[in-house]
Amino acid sequence: MGEIVRLQKYIAMCGVASRRGAEEIIAEGRVTVNGEKVTEMGVKIEIGADNVSVDGKPIKAKNKKYYIMLNKPVGYVSTAKDQFDRPTVTDLVKKDLADVRIFPVGRLDYDTEGLLLLTNDGDFTYKVTHPKFHVEKTYIATVKGGMTIHGMNKLRGGVRIDDGFKTSPAKAEILDAADGYTTVKITIHEGKNRQVRKMFEAVGAPVAHLKRISIGTVELGHLPLGRWRHLTSHEVNYLMNL
């Protein structure tokens, strides 16, 4: 008898999508188990015994896991496929990993650059992105105008964005100020859509440029823009055990 797992976990094990992405795929009616369409969560399958297909194509669990760090440029969307045919982050790695189905771990905005992780391991994605693990993400933001002490203290204490949602306290420090712009290093552990930009807008300092430089202690370093590398085993183990 094979291992019994939830359908969304199996889809993630096959490298099709993260667990959350798999739930969306199931809800959209794109998954069949033994020829029967499944749209509800909680269905379990037996690995090796049940036949699972996504968009009519059979999928199978893969043994080899990939963990990749990409220095994402502006102008790429953080998805494996885009409905508007915009360049995706997977376009930057697939010429070297043509036969590997990987997906982004979380997202970076279209107009944000910097550290983005990609993988075919759904459990890894869950550990890095789920809010309950409080994984810190650090950014360098260049904002228009100056930053007041009051504004910095608001960032450090939490600000209200998106219909009253109050962000958790952030770590923030001013790195530089010149020519009408201020450079701020900010660390958060949440991942709301465009959260860092909205936080600065809430204190009257719109973002002109944003770059993520680290996730936990895993740093972008000197990786060139648009290039990628495999994570070290130490980095993978660190992120899996946060």
All structural domains of the chain = 4-58 (3.10.290.10), 67-131+219-240 (3.30.70.580), 136-215 (3.30.70.1560)
Q: What is the pLDDT of residue 133?
A: 86
Query: In the predicted model, what is the mean pLDDT of residues 82-100?
Result: 85
C-beta separation of 158 from 195 below 8 A: no
Q: Read off the pLDDT of residues 144-164 as tens digits, 9 standing for 90 and up.
A: 999 999 999 999 999 999 878
| DSSP E strand stretches across 73-206 | 103-105, 113-119, 137-144, 160-161, 165-166, 171-178, 181-188
Q: Read off the pLDDT of residues 16-53 as tens digits, 9 standing for 90 and up.
A: 888 888 999 999 999 999 999 999 998 999 877 899 99
**111 is a catalytic site residue:** no
Distances (CA, A) of 32 to 27, 55, 96, 146, 211: 11, 8, 31, 55, 40
CA distance 35 to 18: 23
Set 91, 109, 163, 179: catalytic member? 109
